[in-house]
Structure 1
Amino acid sequence: MINNSDYELLTAKQNLKKEDVVRCLDYTTYFDLVKIPLPTEIDKIIHYLAEERIVILEDNGLYSITNLGAIMFARKLSYFPGIFRKSIRVIQYRGNNRIEAVREYEELKGYASGFEGLITYISGLLPMSEVIVSGMRRTVSSYPMDAVRELIANALIHQDLSVTGAGPMIEIFESRIEITNPGAPLVDVWRIIDNPPRSRNEILSSLMRRIGFCEERGSGWDKVVSLCELSQLPVPKIEEYEEFTRVTMYSHIPYNKMTHEERLWACYMHACLKQVSNDYMTNKSLRERFGLSPSKNSAISKLIKDALTKDLIKPFDPDTAPRYMKYVPIWA
């Protein structure tokens, strides 16, 4: 199997003249994203693309477009038969099962070239709700779009590019979004907030961070969890499979409708988020995270007790009086 670090620099299309390169690649988007004035001469355009390893000069004086260049900046992925199946698919279903697909869309551009359009398209499919802000009625998405954006970017970055015939997929249901990418997670999902980040595709991930499509290394899940907490949504669920990873993001679920496992996962991730913020989880902070009133203190106390029993969290200071108890993740 091809190593991912090799895959990014393998040839997607070779023996190209400079004019062929600029016909195949959306180079104007590259210069926009890296905030470099667009050169007027083709030689300078090729120079910058070569420095980025988007293209490589061959021994015969012609050029190759790398897999990295094609995946990120293809005008059409169909120009590159070897990576065409890496395109991003979006499927919207009626209801909460896969019986009836309402819409299906395939992003045919490279990831960088098509990303903003993809996010706009997905945003248009998500349910909206009305809120009052400063006396003004506003329509907002039922999901924090910055979190959706981060999860999609993560799926692109962390996919196993060596898996043939498969690419990232986004499935939209009535009350959830499922984001699937080839390849199992490289880190323990229970330590996803605090573990040093690992990426299969270092060159691609470095470029995507530099052009602002995702957070700096290691801070993506912090942002996702924080945004879900602010919106009082469940923490996205991560499912590990042998050859792919699925992250499910849910719209609002009242506390009394959440499963016990969903409550425990939210409790644990709340403690993790507090820990990496140099803070502590308390009964009050967890209650407010769920949007519950002080009358629900006993329900939160029971949840904390269950999380302690399952070794998800532990007291920061076991000798503290129960009323003032603070909690940290079990690994802290």
Structure 2
Amino acid sequence: MRSSRRRPLLVPVLLCALALLAARPTDGTDADGGSGTALGPQVARLYQDAATATRQYEDGRRAAETQRAKALEYERLLDAQRQKTDAMREDLGRIARAQYRDGGGLPLTARMLLAENPDELMRGQRAVSRANQAVDRAIGENLRAETRLAADEAKAEAAWQALDKRNAELARLKKKIEGKLEAARSRLEGQADSSVAAGSCPGAVRLDQPDLPAGPAWVAPVETYELSASFGSGGSRWANLHTGQDFAVPVGTPVRSVGAGRVLKVSCGGAFGIHVVIQHAGGYYTQYAHLAAVAVDQGDRVEAGQWIGQSGTTGNSTGPHLHFEVRVTPEMGSALDPVPWLSEHGVPLR
């Protein structure tokens, strides 16, 4: 179980994240105000900013839910403690009423003179006194418990309200970034379509690479995705059966090399639009098609997880997605089903 002492750090952490995101240049334009070759990297940065804002918002939302649950639990315990105290006070009232009915309104000396058995009266008096003291102590303890619970409830409520406020700020920032990302994606898509239509393949635009994960020799071609058209499926847009696996992702999504290798070909035009073919050890080749931009040149060496381009909808495409193929030759006609191939290489697709 995590220590509760660390939870208060979440608010300053969210504030730092908010400040960092707000400081990022997310206006989707070049440093000089243009929208030329730097558009791809800007989309990639916005993509990362949106992902970071989403992650921070979800973390903050879960933390706020936890704090709100704690506040409600303290409120429930406080209500129970108050009911217990009220019951104690009622017990004390019953004792006082019983004393009065048994002659408690008379002075003790008078009651001893009138009593048939003074010793028994004294024993009863001591028992009543002890009962009074016990109830008084219990009420005092309950009142102190109420004070502690009320303080805990107030702290949890304050933490929840602070997190809720930060989450609202993160939500506004997230919406702003996503709006700019959508506009930049649209411009990137238009730029890619214009290049393909003109028959000129856009050159590589180098992206700020993420920190590559240590260890994995193979990764999925995109980090977050939904699987769409599968290998071997039929469709009116293909002359034969589908030769790859499609990953439904928005325009501008960073596309990764699934493994280490060498860029064999960067091309554009035709059914695949802008696409990249990478040669891997073991006689395998992977293709990444319908791109909006490329980040590598022919002959480049790449590592597993390295960004090689950005997804798009160029070529024979009905919408934004990545068409991914695994082949045993560089050319069409030798494709394997990518899903079991990736699974065999330690990358099960979900």
Please state which band the TM-score falls in when normalised by the shorter chain. Answer: under 0.3
Q: TM-score, normalised by structure 1?
A: 0.26
TM-score, structure 2 as length reference: 0.25
**Higher RCO structure (Cα 8 Å, ≥6 apart):** 2
Q: Which has the higher helix share?
A: 2
Larger Rg: 2
User: In proportion to residue count, which structure has more strand?
Assistant: 1
